[in-house]
Structure 1
Amino acid sequence: MQFLFALRSRGVTDARVLTAMERIDRAHFVKGLFADKVYTDVPLPIASGQTISQPSVVGLMTQALDVSPRDKVLEVGTGSGYQAAILSVLARRVYTIDRFKRLVADARAIFEEEGLHNITAITGDGSFGYPEQAPFDRILVTAAAEDPPSPLLAQLRVGGIMVLPVGQSDAVQTLIRATRTETGYEYEELRQVRFVPLIEGLGD
């Protein structure tokens, strides 16, 4: 309950998002050295030089995405798999893509263990999205690009929403919500954040 109270106090107020975050235990996604900090509201290092985002940022991004039960969602940047697991509680289908094969394999194992069968985890270059399953109702990007990547915008259906951090990787980044309209895209700035950069190509 303390965990949920901390989320609420930082602006995560959507009941469905809070329920999903209560159901998905962050402890399954943090191993080793930092396991004792799993319920604190801080980002933590994971394998391949990546991080698991702090829970309040996961909650705020999920809330901004406004996922409904029939949505097909693309997540760019699987990382630990924590964000995809939360999305899987809210959406009909989640596709998550990461450039690091090891992270995808580890996340897949957790999804299997937890019975989260509506997630497909793919190793690939997420900056190009996942055209095989486009268009998507919702797209969530958990790495910062200088501008919203055009291949991802193109894979959003009309009425669809994308939430992503935008800005220089070593400076202040802004969390943006992009909504595709009949005539183009509408952008809304949400808050300042700090994410790893979105890098093209596959990792080691």
Structure 2
Amino acid sequence: MTEATDAPEDLVRAVRAAGVSDERLLQAVRATPRAAFVPPDHRAHACHDVPLPIGHGQVTTQPSLSAMMIAGLDLSGNEHVLEIGTGLGFQTALLARLAADVVTIEMWPDIAHQALCNLAGQGLRNVELRVGDGSGGVPDRAPYDAVIVSAAFPEVPAPLAGQLCSGGRLVQPIGPGGQEQVMSFLRTPTGLERSRMLTLAYFVRLRGRYGFPS
């Protein structure tokens, strides 16, 4: 059997098949070994375009779905990005390769610790990882040029909208936790406006003060 770490092109092909054509993003997928961001007992499946369990009832986001969401941010390389839900850091690593810097927040301390180790192992130094309630964002590092939310809620929490600068983009699965519409939003002078629906997908619920009760 081919080792997961020997097959980065499998994920690149899956991302292309999902409709992502941004060469910078495809190169970030190619340069980021997913096997370094999944639990050891799931590394044989790291090159498969599927979500994998990481504990606490959480799963990784399917790589092609992460790529579609990141593509919805329209990153050019100079952005200050906020990520809600670090997981084990694979999506964070992609963002770090595509933006100036990333502030990411994870509610589970043990998952956050492993993500920090994973990111350090890849030499990614432009990431600041916080542990806490992501539904309220990270206000002391705002404003952000882009925000990506890896959990579902029926609306964009007010703090996240408020921490996005004018002209910035926010991507979030909108729904109760189940079958969501993954939406891209644009921050305008009058507020947050829906830009386009990226895809339908299943996400865990966004928990916290401005999400569902923990």
Q: TM-score range by the shorter chain?
A: over 0.9
Unaligned runs of 5+ in 1: none
Q: How many residues are paired up?
A: 201
Q: Distance in 1 between matches of 2:198 and 2:98?
A: 21
Structure 1 CA distance for aligned equivalents of residues 32 and 10 of structure 2: 15
Q: Say which of 67, 72, 75 aligns to 2:80.
A: 72
Match of 1:128 in 2: 136
Shift in Å at residue 18 of structure 1?
Answer: 0.3
Which secondary structure state, in structure 2, belongs to the residue aligned with residue 121 of structure 1? strand
From 183, 189, 192, the counterpart of 1:185: 192
**Cα distance in 2, alignment partners of residues 177 and 116 from structure 1:** 26
Take 2:145 and 2:152, find their aligned partners in 1: how far apart are those partners?
21
So what's the TM-score if we normalise by structure 2? 0.90
Query: Deviation per CA, 1:50-86, whole angstroms, max 9, x where unpaired?
Result: 1111111011011111112110000000111111110
Partners of 1:158 and 1:135 in 2: CA distance: 9
Aligned Cα root-mean-square deviation (Å): 1.3
Aligned amino acid, residue 8 of structure 1: R
Question: Counterpart of 2:203?
Answer: 195
Q: CA separation in 1, counterparts of 2:164 and 2:72?
A: 16
- Matched with 1:175 is 182
AA matched with 1:110: N
Offset at 1:191? 1.4
Matched residue SS, 1:190 = strand
Within 5 Å, which residues of 2 pair with 1:1-204?
Answer: 1-169=9-177, 171-187=178-194, 188-200=196-208
CA distance in 1, matches of 2:199, 2:120: 34
Task: Quote the offset at 1:35 in angstroms.
Answer: 1.6
Q: Tell me, yes or no, if the aligned pair for 2:11 and 2:64 is still in contact at 8 Å.
A: no
Question: Is the 2:11–2:29 Cα contact (8 Å) retained in structure 1?
Answer: no
**Aligned residue type for 2:193:** E
Partner deviation per Cα, 1:6-58 (whole Å, 9 max, x = no partner): 22112111111101111111000112332211111111101222111111101
Q: Secondary structure at the match of 2:208?
A: coil
Deviates more, 1:31-40 or 1:173-182: 31-40
Segments of 4+ in structure 1 off by > 3 A? Answer: none
Q: Partners in 1 of 2:190 and 2:154 — Cα distance?
A: 23
Q: Is the 8 A contact 2:151 2:205 kept in 1?
A: yes
